Amino acid sequence: MTPRAASVAAVEAEPVVSPPATLDLESRRWLADLRAEGKAHDLAVVRLHELLLRAARFEVSRRQRSLPHLRGNELDDIAHEAADDALVSILGRLDRFRGASRFTTWAYKFALLEAAVKLRRRAWQGREIPLEPETWPTFSSPTAGPETQVEQAELLAAVREGLELLTPHQRTVFVALALNGVPIDVLAERLDTTRGALYKTLHDARRKLRAHVAAAGLAEAERDQ
């Protein structure tokens, strides 16, 4: 998507809101130009896209060691996609900018986030989401004393039992996110849902597990782990 096309798609349905009086001059100019029409708007969009592309390239470069199989042109494609999507997000949220930082700082974060999300998704592309608790053995400490090891074993058994009380969806989400470290945006894409919905499911699953552990008389042990 070109910067111009992205700007048109995002701005059409957005209400125009005057910038707060406390904004710095540069931020006020950014907002005014991005809300303008004609050449001023087009130039501001191009400048913003260039800023976002620099930010996305920085984040891609910083994380590229985690994706050694990707080549330079593939990484640059990811940076461009991140900049394009960040541009759309920003133009659709101009009325949410409150001036807690400079506009450019606020915008920069969108590109960093988009790049990070796209890289995580690329890292998991073609990989199966682990839905079984593969990391159980790492929960117990081999250097702990006999009494602590017994407590850890009891706690682990209670958590295992608690998993059976979860709904299938809650168990899938808890195991993938909490036990196997699947990035939440990756899981959201695979399950065709949102990050917010997954956070809610994870919260409900943890609440059920804590209640089960407490009912088993292991609440103190849980806090110690």
Interval 121-144: pLDDT, tens: 777 765 666 666 655 544 555 565
Question: If you average pLDDT over residues 193-208, what whole number do you get?
Answer: 92
Note the helical H segments in 12-145.
25-35, 39-63, 72-91, 103-123
What is the rounded distance in angstroms from the CA atom of residue 149 to the CA atom of residue 84? 52
Provide the pLDDT for residue 16. 46
Provide the pLDDT for residue 143. 60
Asked if 222 contacts 156 with a C-beta cutoff of 8 angstroms, the reply is no
Q: Average pLDDT over the chain, rounded to whole?
A: 79
Model confidence, pTM: 0.57
Interval 177-192: pLDDT, tens: 888 778 888 888 888 9
What is the rounded distance in angstroms from the CA atom of residue 50 to the CA atom of residue 221? 52
What's the CATH architecture for 136-224?
Orthogonal Bundle (1.10)
Closest CA to 209 of 156, 159, 149, 164: 159
Interval 158-176: pLDDT, tens: 778 888 889 999 998 988 8
Closest CA to 109 of 122, 68, 100: 100
117 vs 129, more confident: 117
List the chain domain ranges: 3-123, 136-224
